[in-house]
Amino acid sequence: MKQVRFSMNEKGMSIVEVLIVIALLSIVSLGFVRWMATSQEAALFAGERARAVLLAEEGLEATRNMRDGDYNNVTLGAHGLAVSGGVWTFAGTSDTVDGFTRVVTASPVDASRKQIESEVSWQETTYHAAQVALTTYLTNWQAASGRLIPITPDATLDLTGPADGTEVAMYTSGLNTYVILGRVSSAEPELYVIDVTDPAVPTVVGSLEIGADVNDIAVVGTNAYLATTDNSAELRVVSLVTPSTPTSIGTLNLAGNTNAQTVVAEGTNLYLGRAADSTRPEIHSISIAVPAAPTSLSTIEVGDSVWKMALGNNDDYVLAATGSNSAEFVVVDVTVPALIVQVGSLNLSGNADGTAVAAFSTYAVLGRDDGFFYTVDVTTPSAPATLGSMDVGVKINDLAMGVDDDYVFAGNGSVGTEVAVVDITTLSTPTSYYAVDLFGNEAMGLIWDEGLNRVFGAARGNTTEFFVLIP
Amino acid sequence: MHRGFTLVELLVSLGLASILLLVILSIFLSSIRSQTTQRSVAEVEQQGAMVMELITQTLRNAQAITSPAVGASASSLTVDVVDATEDPTVFDLSSNQIRITRGVGSPITLTSTLLTASAITFTNVSTTDSSGAVKIEFTLSHGDYDETFYGTASLRQ
């Protein structure tokens, strides 16, 4: 029995040995199987990753193309992408292709740059989510003009005589671009035609003696309409068909002797604003269907001087900056030129006159005699509302809208910062963006031209009646 | 008693050996299968990435998209490139292979004969006022492994 037991024990040991060997072998082979699975997974994962990178790249490329169309297409936030109407557009907060989820996030960097992150995530295994993210920066290169600082004087002109510049307007004839400059009355001409085709070298090509201050200029086609201090010709029409020889072709004498201060025109209609006259209206609607013979259509009484006007809300309204203490900003409905009606007004705190106004979309910017600047919502013309304000300095003489209506150039009287650039990207908080030093030459009239990427201005100064700013 | 045990021992060892052999065989087979799959995956993924890279690079450097027209889709892409001798450069699909034709030259196949390319679609997704963009889609398959590749490229002109 003992022997049997012994030999049985011996056999038992052998089986244990075999079991150990099997166990070891299975561990090794399991490792081997695992290794094979891993290497196969690795090939798959690498492929998935490569495709995810392609999709992420597609996100950046699609966003870039949207930017090429319009920088504003790239709205901030997290987006999905979809081809809609034959172009890539943002749709929803993510999009899914073949199990890959893509999120394109646009975040702000500064006024003309956005950071774009394209992140693609997918389930590599049930338990592991993988992602790739690509980042790029997109710039608003198309609108880079007018946004770059410093803004510096590109050129100035010293016109004969000491008379100050008052206002500027622009027109094109053939391949050339001209600025028309008005001056206060003197022995020298009051109207100049300046060729600014090469803005760095402005050249006076023609001038005309008006015999009175030219306070404002509006151009329609090849005719300039001047608001003057001439008591017998508050409105004067000058033909610019030949830029070298501007020719007076018509006048309109308005009743009374108060000065015409401002003029705006569109199509065959012109609107003229005058200084206060207790017995006569200040805003005139005038037909310029026959440019040589302007005829008065209708008028309204504002009760105080109209210093500057602008056409707003799709040219349906005239927005006027006035001297009234209870209505510095007045909205006039001009949809029927023969019957213009004041529909709304805005009373700003304090008694400083409204002295400058410019309009865009359904908004306006207003400048005052005390140097304050306002953004005004005119979406409801009967109830214009102040959105924001800031102090620019001394009396604002003129306002000109800059690129994308995000910036406003404010010509004012503060020495050293005669042209203030105000950032109104956020209408409720206008902020000072830059200021141009004109060395004491008060900026009186301004105009921005996107094509030439220049600001042209008229200044009060013996040696600098005309200036060009390059952003 | 001794013989009995020896027989049992023989049976056990035979049984164990056959199990072991089966295991080894199955490992061997799956290793071959895995290798085949890996080759399929690698072929498809690498060639797909390479073709996509070539198309997107060509587009980025191109001067204009000749066809398809804006908003349209087609199975071939014709671009106007800078180098006059390579103008126009055409990408298309022929006999299940993606090809590139540069200028008057003869077509060069970009994918290997081992792969089957299909469902190639070029969509001109150019936004108005932009220099152009094309969305690219194609499917590559090898054996029973197939993948669809997506990409978009914007012209840099």
Residues paired with residue A322 on neighbouring β-strands, in sequence order: A306
Mean pLDDT of chain A: 88
> Biggest alpha carbon distance in chain A?
148
Residues 6+ apart with CB under 8 A from B95: none
Does residue A281 have a cis peptide bond before it, meaning omega lies within 30 degrees of 0?
no
Per-residue pLDDT of B74-110, as tens digits, reads: 999 999 988 888 889 999 999 999 999 998 889 999 9
Confidence of residue A319 (pLDDT cuts 50, 70, 90): very high
**How many helices and strands (H and E) does chain B possess?**
1, 9
The Cα A332–Cα A344 span in angstroms is: 7
Backbone angles phi, psi at A396, to 5 degrees: -85, 120
**Band (A56; pLDDT cuts 50, 70, 90):** very high
pLDDT confidence bin for B145, thresholds 50/70/90: confident
Does the beta-carbon distance from B71 to A85 stay under 8 Å?
Answer: yes
Determine contact: B64 vs chain A, CB below 8 A.
no
Residue B144 burial (C-beta neighbours within 10 Å; 0-12, 13-18, 19+): exposed
Angle made by CA atoms A215, A219, A222, in degrees to the nearest 5: 135
**Does A197 have pLDDT greater than 50?**
yes
Phi then psi dihedrals of residue A37, to 5 deg? -60, -45
Q: Which amino acid is at A285?
A: S
Task: Calculate the alpha carbon distances from A158 to A211, A413, A463 in Å.
Answer: 20, 19, 5
Q: Which of A18, A58, A64 sits opposite B151 (nearest CB)?
A: A58
The distance of B27 to chain A (nearest Cα, Å) reads 7
pTM (two decimals): 0.56
A82 contacts in B (CB within 8 Å)?
none
Q: How confident is the model at residue A3 (pLDDT cuts 50, 70, 90)?
A: very low
Query: Is 60 exceeded by the pLDDT of residue B32?
Result: yes
pLDDT above 90 (res A183): yes
Share of chain A above pLDDT 70, in %: 95
Least confident interval from A137-146, A216-225, A359-368 = A137-146
Q: Which residues of A touch B128 (CB under 8 A)?
A: 69, 87
Nearest to B23 among A29, A50, A86 (CB): A29
According to the model, what pLDDT value does residue A13 have?
Answer: 60
Average pLDDT of the segment spanning A88-95 = 92
Cβ-based contacts of A57 with chain B (< 8 Å): 56, 151-152
What strand order describes the sheet that includes B89-94? Answer: B64-67, B77-80, B89-94, B97-102, B108-109
- List all residues of chain B from 102 to 141 with a beta carbon under 8 Å from chain A: 123-133, 135
Looking at the predicted structure, is the pLDDT value of residue A39 above 80? yes
Q: How confident is the model at residue A124 (pLDDT cuts 50, 70, 90)?
A: confident
Angle at B57 between CA B43 and CA A87, to 5 degrees: 105
